[in-house]
Amino acid sequence: MVLSPLVEALALPALVAFGATGLIRFARGRKGDGKLAEAGLGIGFLAGFWAVTGGLPFLGRDVAYHPLGEAVLLALVLGLLLALFGAGPRLMGLVAVVGAAFAVVWIIGWRQMLEPTVEELLGAAIYGAVAIAAALRLKGLGPGATPIAITGLASLALAVVASIGHAAGASGLALVLAGACLGSLIWAWPFQRGSFGPMALAVLVVGLTGLMVIQARGALHTPWALVPLPLAFWAPEIAQRLPVLDRLARKKPSRPLALLAASALPCGIAIGLALILGARVHL
């Protein structure tokens, strides 16, 4: 019973993402290293979403967190179309901005956003500004699979923060995203040779933004612990200010691991804040 949630939320999406990515790569031969194999990331997330919530996107409004599953599925389909037609650098930037804004609106509820209250409008503006800035930074961490690794680490930190805040559903789905990232990363080692195109970008931006909005809106108290988390995507700037990591980041073979270590700092701060604030609430 103790391992069951971990198996559903972490191991299953990791295995599905690993298997789906591998099948697409081998089906396409040497070209399988390219953008289409990134579909495994989204497929892994949707498999984990089904295991955690017991339902699939668009197949029932009684499914818990159905807007998140719907948003990720739509992001996967859009990313697939862009990958088939070839998305250039400018289009990747558009994917990041539109994906972040779309996730915020879809999770809050697009019908609500047609006639929003002042509080909803202000919240959407704040969430959107932070999400768009982080999404553009995420895009800039490529090429290679480093963006996937950092998003996986941020998702894992979010899962811990949500768990400390007694948000079991958000925590489980954050683990799902972390697991899907892990499964796709197995094919991308070393990270600098992995692929990072519109499909991976769309799924990661929409998935993580959606989870952050869910946790922020569902938190019992002001979610200060979430504030440092987006800084994980400013890993290059963090590494530059730490001599050891800066030296490693300047070398191509060690750069991905150096950036991953730098992104772990804001993730650790977020978890530490969650523990401190959680202890204060209980006191």
**Domain ranges for the chain:** 4-220
Residue-level pLDDT at 4: 61
pLDDT at 173 over 70: yes
- Taking only the tens place, the pLDDT of each residue in 27-80 is 865 554 467 888 999 999 999 999 888 888 877 666 778 899 999 999 999 999
- H helices within 63-186, ranges in order? 66-85, 89-108, 110-114, 118-140, 146-164, 168-185
Residue 178 one-letter amino acid? A
Comparison of pLDDT for 278 and 13, the residue scoring more: 13
Mean pLDDT, range 196-205, rounded to an integer:
92
Residue-level pLDDT at 1: 36
Residue-level pLDDT at 283: 44
pLDDT band at 116 (very low <50, low <70, confident <90, very high): confident
pLDDT at 98 over 90: yes
Mean pLDDT, range 124-132, rounded to an integer:
92
Rounded Cα–Cα distance for residues 141 and 5 (Å) = 31
If you search the block for the tokens 């558009």, which residue do you land on?
Answer: 94
Residue-level pLDDT at 49: 93
Residue 176's Cβ-count burial label (10 Å; 0-12, 13-18, 19+) is: buried
pLDDT at 280 over 60: no
CA distances from 181 to 144, 169, 207 (A): 13, 19, 11
- Taking only the tens place, the pLDDT of each residue in 133-160 is 999 999 988 778 899 999 999 999 999 9
Mean pLDDT, range 110-128, rounded to an integer:
84
Phi then psi for residue 239, to 5 deg, are -60, -35
Mean pLDDT, range 214-235, rounded to an integer:
89
Tokens representing residue 244 in the block? 């050891």
